[in-house]
């Protein structure tokens, strides 16, 4: 069996990181078998080297090796590219065509960005993995192929499965052996080594002296996040080699070639909710607020009508019923508002305020009518709320959980009200 070091030299893999060595070692071990392999890792880490190692060290090394970028082929033609098609199968199919799986019979196919495959194509691929059979587009005759499949992806496959974008059964068939390549930021000892290799290569290519980094520039090189991994490092080395006249590269010069140095922090990914989710929930909350405002207007209208009839007892009865309904709806809606606020990035700065108290000044006219009924009867919803909270807390001797249960609100909402009213 070929050694890890010899294999790295043969395929131009630079670095001595233990995780990188382990990935190469696994590729060497599985090469003599026909096991399906899934290569994972971020974009730019060099995943394409692993299938080449596997193919060249396998018994299929004299067969064809075909690399297919699944993300670069349009969804409408990918089945034809992979499995071929019969003449007349679709508009433009003027002749029978052999697909990659037919051409690569006896060899190896590398499916890069396999996570981008459409679901119907995933079903066809699963059939090949299970029994080696496939159908050309427009054909009903099954054909056999003997192909070793090595796939690669930078997608989180478990999340893709949860979202219904990738078949779970196909994932487990592809990932009989999973080989993970670490990102460049986890290979800090290899970064400067790679940079020097790239600088030397470009010096030879462009026939100019090799660039060298000053000590502070080396430190910057090691501290940078390298979100584009080895590919980004190579591009930076090439740019500097071509553009800089001074071959001694300072910290300031290198910094000019590194984007986003001002915010060199880990990127936030996989946020809980997308912007479209927030927009949808905002629409719901706006409707809630309008409904509550309408209830307040109904209360005002009813009170004025009953006042004209002189039936003050009926006024109190109807108002009490409406207030109870409004109070119950308010607490339910505020819980939803609070939950929505917690999902925002600055949730700790978002204060969910009682709709009635927040709009008390702007809508004072909505409550002036109450003073005309009886001076001693205060119909302020805010004061009613405060009075109910006080009575409940006194009844349960300050136990918020019991008080919240009686009021029909969450303990969190009650705690917020206690802070709001300084109880």
User: What are 132-148's pLDDT values in tens digits?
Assistant: 999 999 999 999 999 99
Q: Which domain holds residue 229?
A: 188-263
Question: How sure is the predictor about 397, in pLDDT bands with cuts at 50, 70 and 90?
Answer: confident
Give a yes or no: residue 103 inside a domain: yes
The Cα-based distances of 358 to 33, 353, 414 in angstroms read 70, 6, 17
Whether residues 15 and 158 share a domain: the answer is yes
341 near 350, Cβ under 8 Å?
A: yes
CB 21 within 8 A of CB 180: no
Among 263, 290, 306, where does a domain finish?
263
The alpha-carbon radius of gyration of the chain (Å, integer) is 34
Query: What is the structure's pLDDT at 349?
Result: 42
- DSSP-assigned letter for residue 360: T
Q: Which of 222, 221, 225, 219 is nearest to 266 (CA)?
A: 225
Any domain includes 270: no
Shared domain for 131 and 155, answered yes or no, is yes
In this predicted structure, the answer to whether residue 43 has a pLDDT above a threshold of 80 is yes
Instruction: For residues 76 and 91, state if they share a domain.
Output: yes
Q: Is 102 found in the same domain as 217?
A: no
- Would residue 271 count as lying in a domain? no
pLDDT tens, 83-125?
Answer: 999 999 888 889 999 999 999 999 999 999 999 999 999 999 9
Domain's final residue, options 136, 157, 182: 182
Residue-level pLDDT at 285: 62
Shared-domain flag, residues 293 and 397: yes
User: Residue 264 pLDDT more than 50?
Assistant: no
Query: Are residues 204 and 86 part of one domain?
Result: no
Q: Is residue 381 part of a domain?
A: yes
The mean pLDDT value of the chain amounts to: 81
Q: Is 243 exposed, middle or buried (0-12, 13-18, 19+ CB in 10 A)?
A: exposed
Query: Is residue 245, in this structure, part of any structural domain at all?
Result: yes
- Same domain? For 134 and 243 the reply is no
For residue 248, the domain's CATH number is: 1.10.8.60
Are 155 and 25 contained in the same domain?
Answer: yes
What is the reported pLDDT for 283?
60
**Domain match, 165 and 196 both:** no
Domain assignment present for 272: no
Number of structural domains found in the chain: 3
In a domain, 281, yes or no: yes
In a domain, residue 162? The reply is yes
> Is residue 222 predicted with pLDDT exceeding 70?
yes
Q: Which residues pair with 134 in a beta bridge?
A: 143
Q: What confidence category does residue 68 fall into, taking pLDDT thresholds of 50, 70 and 90?
A: very high
Q: Are 231 and 290 in the same domain?
A: no
**143 φ, ψ (degrees, to nearest 5):** -120, 155
4-37 pLDDT per residue, tens: 999 999 999 999 999 999 999 999 999 999 999 9
Query: Pick from 202, 237, 263: which residue ends a domain?
Result: 263
Query: Do residue 59 and residue 195 come from a single domain?
Result: no
Residues 106 and 223 in one domain: no
Is residue 303 over pLDDT 80?
A: no
């Amino acid at each position: 069996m070929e050694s890890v070091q010899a294999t790295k030299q043969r395929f131009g893999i630079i670095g001595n990181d233990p995780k990188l060595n382990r990935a190469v070692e696994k590729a060497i071990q599985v090469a003599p078998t026909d096991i399906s392999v899934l290569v994972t890792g971020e974009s730019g880490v060099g995943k394409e080297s692993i299938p080449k190692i596997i193919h060249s060290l396998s018994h299929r090394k004299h067969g064809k090796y075909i690399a297919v970028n699944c993300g670069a082929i349009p969804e409408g033609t990918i089945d034809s590219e992979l499995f071929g098609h019969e003449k007349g199968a679709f508009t433009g199919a003027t002749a029978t065509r052999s697909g990659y799986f037919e051409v690569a019979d006896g060899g190896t196919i590398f499916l890069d960005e396999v996570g981008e495959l459409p679901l119907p194509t995933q079903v066809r691929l699963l059939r090949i993995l299970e029994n080696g059979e496939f159908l050309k587009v427009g054909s009903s005759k099954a054909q056999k192929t003997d192909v070793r499949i090595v796939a690669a992806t930078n997608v989180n496959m478990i999340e893709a499965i949860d979202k219904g974008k990738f078949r779970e059964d196909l994932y487990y068939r592809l990932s009989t052996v999973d080989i993970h390549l670490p990102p460049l930021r986890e290979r800090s000892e290899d970064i400067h080594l790679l940079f020097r290799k790239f600088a030397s290569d470009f010096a030879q290519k462009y026939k100019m002296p090799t660039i060298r980094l000053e000590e502070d520039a080396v430190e910057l090189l090691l501290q940078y996040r390298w979100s584009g991994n080895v590919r980004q490092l190579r591009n930076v080395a090439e740019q500097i080699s071509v553009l800089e006249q001074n071959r001694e590269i300072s910290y300031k010069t290198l910094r000019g070639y590194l984007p986003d140095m001002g915010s060199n922090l880990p990127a936030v990914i996989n946020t809980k909710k997308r912007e479209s989710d927030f927009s949808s929930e905002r629409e719901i909350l706006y409707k809630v607020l309008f409904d509550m405002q309408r209830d307040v207007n109904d209360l005002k209208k009813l009170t004025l009508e009953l006042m004209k009839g002189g039936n003050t007892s009926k006024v109190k009865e109807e108002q009490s019923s409406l207030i109870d309904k409004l109070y119950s709806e308010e607490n339910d809606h505020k819980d939803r508002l609070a939950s929505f606020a917690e999902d925002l990035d600055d949730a700790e700065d978002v204060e969910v305020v009682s709709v009635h108290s927040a709009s008390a000044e702007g809508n004072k006219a909505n409550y002036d009518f109450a003073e005309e009924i009886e001076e001693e009867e205060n119909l302020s919803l805010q004061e009613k709320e405060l009075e109910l909270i006080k009575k409940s807390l006194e009844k349960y001797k300050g136990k918020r959980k019991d008080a919240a249960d009686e009021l029909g609100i969450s303990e969190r909402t009650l705690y917020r009200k206690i802070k709001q009213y300084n109880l």
